[in-house]
Amino acid sequence: MVTTSQEQGHDALTATSAVTGLPQKRFYRQRAHSNPIADHSFDYPARPEDVDWSALYPNIQPDQQVEFADIGCGYGGFLVTLGEMFPQKISIGMEIRVKVSDYVVDRIAALRLKSGKLNGDAYKNIACIRTNAMKYLPNYFRKGQLEKMFFLYPDPHFKRAKHKWRIINQALLSEYAYVLRQGGLVYTMTDVEDLHQWIVSHMNQHPLYERISPEEESQDPITPKLYQSSEEGAKVVRNKGDHFLAIFRRL
């Protein structure tokens, strides 16, 4: 059925809350799981030099580059928090699910518009792209470019046969080390203890990472935000579930 432009405009208005001016997640729902090994349809650059970051960040300067990456950013709650906490840093969210990434893009556009009269630069330091981070990170980032990477509440892929789909594994850790600068940090958070043990085991086995101490974790200003800033984290808090945190330094 062909929809008219008037109907499409009505759908767009319906998807935006009249109270908050932000898109409503219920219009962007899709399956919680996505097969990262499947051949999804993605447009991706051949090399980092081909990325036009100015199309995502209106105010980015020629000498600026993306330094924070929220891998599997979900509905963008933590990404928005990063933008607010670090206005001088450029942060990117990467999400494989098409409707979810569409929501984050629309959410950022709405936040920019909403805050424009008060602060014209607000939220112009964050953006989201739909991609498969397990395959294409080196296509976007140069060696040693990233200062921080975040893996918050990743898909646990409970079945043993699907453990190879977990975003933390030995092969991918080398790739993450490539795009992460020396001294950079990898933040991991999950509510699944088995997955947490898997992450810690694989990170400890890799020669390019060391886990930071609990004291360093508690002193990091980002740590408190990891528990509730993301939608998944907030849900765990509401359900009084457990959080398992581990932060690792790139050697």
Fold that domain 66-250 belongs to in CATH: Rossmann fold (3.40.50)
Query: In the chain, at which residue ranges do the beta strands (DSSP E only) sit?
Result: 66-71, 90-95, 126-130, 146-152, 180-190, 209-211, 244-250
Q: Are strands 126-130 and 146-152 parallel, antiparallel or unpaired?
A: unpaired
Q: Are 186 and 203 in contact (CB under 8 A)?
A: yes
Separation between Cα atoms, residue 171 and residue 244, nearest integer Å:
23
Residue 104 has pLDDT above 90, yes or no: yes
Residue whose entry in the numeric block shows the structure tokens 């990898």: 186
- Confidence category of residue 119, pLDDT binned at 50, 70, 90: confident
Tokens of 74: 């979900």
Residue 9 pLDDT exceeds 50: no
Whether 155 is a known active-site residue: answer yes
Question: What three-state secondary structure class fits 2?
Answer: coil
Instruction: Tell me the pLDDT tens digit for each residue of 180-190.
Output: 999 999 999 99
Which candidate in 39, 50, 106, 155 is catalytic? 155
Task: Tell me the per-residue pLDDT of 29-75, one tens digit each, with 9 for 90 and over.
Answer: 665 555 555 656 678 999 999 999 999 999 999 999 999 999 999 99
What is the residue type of 16?
T
Mean pLDDT of the chain: 87
Task: Say which residues have a Cβ less than 8 Å from residue 148's Cβ, sequence separation at least 6.
Answer: 67, 68, 69, 184, 185, 186, 187, 222
Residue 83 burial by CB count (10 A; 0-12/13-18/19+): exposed, middle or buried? Answer: buried
Q: Taking residues 107-126, what's their average pLDDT? A: 89
Q: How far apart are CA 83 and CA 122, in angstroms?
A: 8
Are 187 and 148 a contacting pair, CB within 8 Å? yes
